[in-house]
């Protein structure tokens, strides 16, 4: 796995006059590596060598619409690596020779084609569900002016309740809703807004503890990770406490074991975006003891596997973590990973990838309860409203990027 930082692998091809050397997407030249990663790779991988042996490996998502943003993000990542490993950047051996004129032209041409392909398709996030023994997902497609994503499912009193993010495109600020899943008719019914604040909300991780339901919504714009308590299931919620303050984090997911509570989250700092790194906080009591960071360093620094994507799956005494692969783009595919060890060094192993199906362009949340699975799917939508939204938004942004070049 790419999460292990001390891989003892001989690398004969790396010849360096300095003690430390760096490869960027397999290249020793920063610009060449970014050029390769943006055009050809699913992620931009940085590998640090000491005396010809790998000592650190991380990856980030290249900005496929801007070489300069990718260059700056990569430099910030390199600075972050050096800071964490207590290495001076002057000790690193890698080149920063600009691209040739031909490669610049080739790069910009290919980027333009990628932009046209990725930005000329109006998309919408929707919720889909299926029984565990079914092959086909049942899509629930809302009106064109909203999207629905991040579904969490609760089974109570012989009913399935879906908690999810909804966002109106014209407002661009998420809020949280809950609805009953009408399996017979394939729709969400009795939907109500349960949390709408003056900042973006999403990813409503709902869980039960001592016959009481709680929720941790994503609230990075408020610089906090907050716990809400359900006062009347499923529609009435109130804030109970702040678990962690002064933090920019997304997709926070609690895991309770026999010994402790662990909070897995994706924190943004300079040099690491939300998709890049997974960190773990720990508390011995959810309500009375503060969460403290379990490890100083992230336990995963890999954009293809770091970001959380739903509740932990626990069965037969085993724990599985659902994660996102955001290397190619945000909301690309999801992974299932078996958690092997949390304390004394986090370890997990990859189990399988869940790729989008039935024409979907992506998915980034997966949950299951009782015998029903739920996901969100990104679909193409070409109705009049979606096309109008595209012309007024994505197309103009595309031209703005071209003009800035």
Q: pLDDT value at position 118? A: 61
Same domain, 311 and 374: yes
Same domain, 144 and 111: no
Does residue 174 belong to any structural domain of this protein? yes
**Last residue within a domain, chosen from 48, 65, 99:** 99
Q: Output the six-digit token pair for 44.
A: 């931009």
Q: pLDDT value at position 43? A: 96
Does residue 8 belong to any structural domain of this protein? no
CA dist., res. 70 & res. 32, Å (int) = 12
Does residue 14 belong to any structural domain of this protein? no
Same domain, 109 and 131: no
pLDDT one-digit tens code per residue, 150-187:
999 999 999 999 999 999 998 989 999 999 999 999 99
Same domain, 333 and 398: no
Q: pLDDT value at position 391? A: 64
Same domain, 160 and 71: no
Same domain, 127 and 197: yes
- Which range of residues forms the domain containing residue 118? 105-122+382-405
Does residue 238 belong to any structural domain of this protein? yes
Which of the 8 DSSP states describes residue 246?
S
| Tally of domains in the chain | 3
The CA distances from residue 262 to 136, 253, 281, in Å, are 34, 8, 6
CA dist., res. 236 & res. 342, Å (int) = 34
Q: pLDDT value at position 13? A: 41
The CA distances from residue 66 to 73, 102, 205, 296, in Å, are 11, 17, 34, 32
Same domain, 160 and 219: yes
Which residues, listed in sequence order, are joined to residue 236 by a DSSP beta bridge?
A: 232
pLDDT one-digit tens code per residue, 3-58:
433 333 333 344 445 789 999 999 999 999 999 998 889 999 999 999 889 999 99
**Last residue within a domain, chosen from 48, 64, 99:** 99
Q: Beta strands of 41-195 (E only): which ranges?
A: 44-50, 53-60, 92-93, 123-131, 138-140, 146-156, 159-168, 175-182, 187-195
Same domain, 133 and 117: no
Does residue 207 belong to any structural domain of this protein? yes
Same domain, 79 and 129: no
Same domain, 263 and 387: no
CA dist., res. 182 & res. 160, Å (int) = 8
Does residue 202 belong to any structural domain of this protein? yes
Note whether 207 and 161 are within 8 A (CB): no
Cα torsion 220, 326, 391, 400: sign = positive
Q: pLDDT value at position 3? A: 42
Q: Are strands 20-24 and 44-50 parallel, antiparallel or unpaired?
A: antiparallel
Q: Output the six-digit token pair for 45.
A: 């991988």
Same domain, 111 and 76: no
Does residue 3 belong to any structural domain of this protein? no
Which residues, listed in sequence order, are joined to residue 124 by a DSSP beta bridge?
A: 379
Q: pLDDT value at position 119? A: 62
Read off the CATH number of the domain in which 376 is found. 2.115.10.20
Alpha helix positions (H), 13-100 = 30-40, 67-85
Does residue 259 belong to any structural domain of this protein? yes
Same domain, 365 and 390: no
Q: What angle do CA 243, 248, 253 make, to 5 degrees?
A: 50
Q: pLDDT value at position 1? A: 44
CA dist., res. 82 & res. 71, Å (int) = 17
Note whether 146 and 169 are within 8 A (CB): yes
Using the structure block, give the residue that is written with the tokens 């990718």.
70
Provide the residue-wise pLDDT of the chain in tens; the chain has 405 residues: 444 333 333 333 444 457 899 999 999 999 999 999 988 899 999 999 998 899 999 999 998 878 889 999 999 999 999 999 999 999 999 999 998 888 888 777 777 776 666 666 888 999 999 999 999 999 999 999 999 999 999 999 999 999 999 999 989 899 999 999 999 999 999 999 999 999 999 999 999 999 999 999 999 999 999 999 999 999 999 999 999 999 999 999 999 999 999 999 999 999 999 999 999 999 999 999 999 999 999 999 999 999 999 999 999 999 999 999 999 889 999 999 999 999 999 999 999 999 999 999 999 999 999 999 999 999 998 888 777 776 666 555 555 545 554
């Amino acid at each position: 796995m790419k999460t292990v930082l001390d891989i003892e692998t001989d690398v004969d091809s790396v010849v360096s006059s300095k003690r430390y050397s760096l490869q960027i997407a397999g290249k020793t030249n920063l610009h060449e590596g970014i050029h390769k990663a943006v055009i050809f790779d699913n992620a931009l991988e940085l590998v640090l060598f000491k005396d010809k042996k790998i000592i650190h490996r991380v990856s980030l998502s290249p900005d496929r619409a801007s070489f300069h943003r990718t260059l700056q993000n990569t430099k910030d990542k390199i600075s972050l690596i050096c800071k964490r490993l207590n290495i001076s950047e002057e000790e690193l051996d890698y080149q920063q020779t600009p691209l040739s004129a031909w490669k610049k032209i080739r790069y910009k041409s290919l980027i333009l084609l990628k932009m046209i392909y990725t930005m000329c398709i109006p998309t919408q996030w929707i919720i889909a569900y299926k029984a565990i023994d079914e092959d086909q997902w049942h899509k629930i497609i809302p009106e064109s002016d909203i999207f629905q994503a991040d579904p969490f499912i609760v089974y109570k009193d012989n009913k399935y309740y879906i908690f999810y993010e909804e966002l109106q495109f014209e407002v661009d600020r998420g809020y949280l809703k809950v609805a009953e899943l009408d399996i017979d008719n394939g729709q969400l019914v009795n939907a109500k807004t349960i949390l709408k604040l003056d900042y973006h909300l999403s990813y409503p991780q709902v869980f039960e503890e001592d016959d009481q339901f709680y929720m941790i919504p994503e609230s990075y714009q408020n610089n906090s990770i907050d716990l809400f308590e359900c006062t009347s299931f499923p529609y009435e919620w109130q804030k109970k406490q702040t678990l962690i303050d002064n933090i920019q984090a997304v997709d926070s997911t609690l895991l309770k074991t026999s010994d402790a509570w662990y909070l897995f989250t994706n924190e943004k700092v300079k040099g690491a975006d939300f998709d890049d790194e997974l960190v773990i906080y720990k508390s011995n009591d959810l309500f009375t003891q503060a969460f403290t960071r379990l490890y100083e360093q992230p336990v995963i620094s890999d954009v293809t596997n770091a970001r959380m994507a739903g509740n932990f799956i626990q069965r037969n005494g085993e724990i599985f973590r659902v994660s996102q692969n955001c290397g190619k783009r945000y909301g690309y595919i999801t992974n299932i990973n078996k958690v092997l060890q949390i304390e004394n060094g986090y370890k997990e192993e990859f189990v399988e990838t869940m790729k989008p199906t039935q024409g979907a362009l992506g998915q980034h949340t997966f949950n299951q309860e009782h015998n029903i699975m739920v996901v969100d799917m990104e679909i193409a939508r070409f109705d009049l409203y979606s096309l109008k939204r595209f012309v007024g938004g994505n197309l103009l942004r595309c031209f703005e990027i071209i003009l800035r070049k």
